[in-house]
Structure 1
């Protein structure tokens, strides 16, 4: 796949880089070689079987199998020395209607690199347009470093489908890694509105910004919020002093990476087990995990403490968070979303559960 240009620079639009299955260049070369050989064998067979309709103008001794192979080779490669020619009308018709398409196919296979590049670019443009038309209510992750990858892994563990997650990163290596992880991605500067529009940020449900620089995070937040006034915008900053600026820029939630890491370090120093529990809930790969889900019908009217297999630590009602000790959260109501701590499901169980949900 052709390398993506940075979004909006030099008038070149950045196209979406979709997940793809890597193919070995040697296998591709061998496949094309076999197809070219088959075309040559078909042409040779046609000439050999109809050899009485051809004349060797040089030796006048008829057309042998070697002559048929020679004629097919120079004809298919458009060399055409003219020493062997079809004389019968039907042989000339076969050359016009059969050998000529074989020649075109042979040239496209072995010589048509430019044609292939143009075709690929056109195909990519069509795929880009189709992708952008159907992309809505998705999650855009800006920055696919350690924080961005962790955010995506958490989303996928919570049931978010990979085809509803879009990555933006300035690094070609990060875009390639996102593709290998099964995600659509754009390469370019996320502070540019042109690229944000290409990623359909205006239709996104959530935007996660995990850039390495706070100034870039603030500018990106401003642009995202102007394009999409309703989406949830979650931003990671390095310094606590910048939290207020990011909130004023339109962030729905701000996570201070240095403060969070420092708090985990402090909790681990107070008690290693306490730090382990917190780390356990944050990673979610094993042990405990925090999850948000809609209340089940059989849970309505009951206290949160009656929920089996999970511990309810809060619920969301009418867009307001109510913690477990809140007097207004003594009963589960229809439409409540529960925030629970539960045992993390093994990867195999998660895959089976996701497959069952897809089938239903």
Structure 2
């Protein structure tokens, strides 16, 4: 604001000298600068009475604006705001280049765990939070952050919600997650939204707000503890496949996109050169079909769950994308 005001004063002062004294633009600009800074550098030609009156006005207004601008810049530098502005601009440029990324709203205990797992798997994401301590911790860990209320449309746009692959509402309060989900759904109707619910009654509200999936950390934690108590080896196996960087077996899912050449083709067409990948299930219209037969024909928006070696999974991904 201060810099804009100073620029306006310089522009008006320059135009005034050009009109009154008929000086060249650069000379008029030079005299304006030396006048408002009280340096004084002489005039190209002797001033008329009108020019002298204009100089009085420029000094009266310009010196005050110039002093105010210097004080504002000093304050910004003193409080570290200048560095924050530069950082925000860099972040804005970095986020502006992101496509098919995830927006992580909330960098608490849950959000922090998500961020580290995303980093481990090489998933692009940006963190949105309004808490200064959370933002400092995220920045210290090297994560890209956006400072603001995640429920505000302006903040979500700054995080690239229109280009994002998905959004995770992982804040501590259910109300906050509901508002974030609603705002994100309005801005991007096709966005995949995963929302955290702490209370059971919040789940219905999150569905109405537009959440694609709803996660209850306490419910999942309870189920996991029970599963570990009754079948620890099976749980360890699933963790190894899903969370560990293991080079032997990974689990991945794929979507048959609209217009894909695979629509109408049978599962058996994937068998040649599959690289040992096994199709475990196909999710269609919200229903999971386990151990699909080779005669099963793919349909639009089918979600395929497959397991295999990393190289085989990459080959399957390329084949599904290319239609070969």
The TM-score normalised by the length of structure 1 is: 0.51
Distance in 2 (CA, whole Å) between partners of 1:190 and 1:334 is 33
- Report the secondary structure of 2:268's partner residue: coil
Distance in 1 (CA, whole Å) between partners of 2:104 and 2:116 is 11
Distance in 1 (CA, whole Å) between partners of 2:119 and 2:268 is 30
- How many residues are aligned here? 229
Which residue among 274, 277, 280 is the counterpart of 1:313?
280
**Residues 94-135 of structure 1, C-alpha deviation per residue, up to 9 Å, x if partnerless?**
xxxxxxxxxxxxxxxxxxx94993864664465355345434
Higher RCO, Cα 8 Å, sep 6+ = 1
Distance in 2 (CA, whole Å) between partners of 1:253 and 1:119 is 40
Structure 2 unaligned residues grouped into runs of 5+? 1-72, 312-324
Change (3 A) 1:195 1:333: closer
Which residue among 302, 308, 329 is the counterpart of 2:268?
302
Q: Does 1:266 align with 2:258?
A: no
Which residue among 138, 146, 149 is the counterpart of 2:112?
149
Distance in 1 (CA, whole Å) between partners of 2:276 and 2:194 is 30
Conserved 8 A contact 2:91-2:144: no
Aligned to 1:242: 202
Conserved 8 A contact 1:289-1:343: yes
Aligned to 1:34: none
Conserved 8 A contact 1:304-1:330: no
Q: CA deviation at 1:239?
A: 2.6
Q: Does 1:217 align with 2:215?
A: no
Which residue among 212, 220, 240 is the counterpart of 1:280?
240
Conserved 8 A contact 2:266-2:296: no
Distance in 2 (CA, whole Å) between partners of 1:177 and 1:136 is 25
Q: Does 1:339 align with 2:305?
A: yes
Aligned to 1:140: 103
Distance in 2 (CA, whole Å) between partners of 1:224 and 1:192 is 9
The TM-score normalised by the length of structure 2 is: 0.56
Structure 1 unaligned residues grouped into runs of 5+? 1-112, 346-360
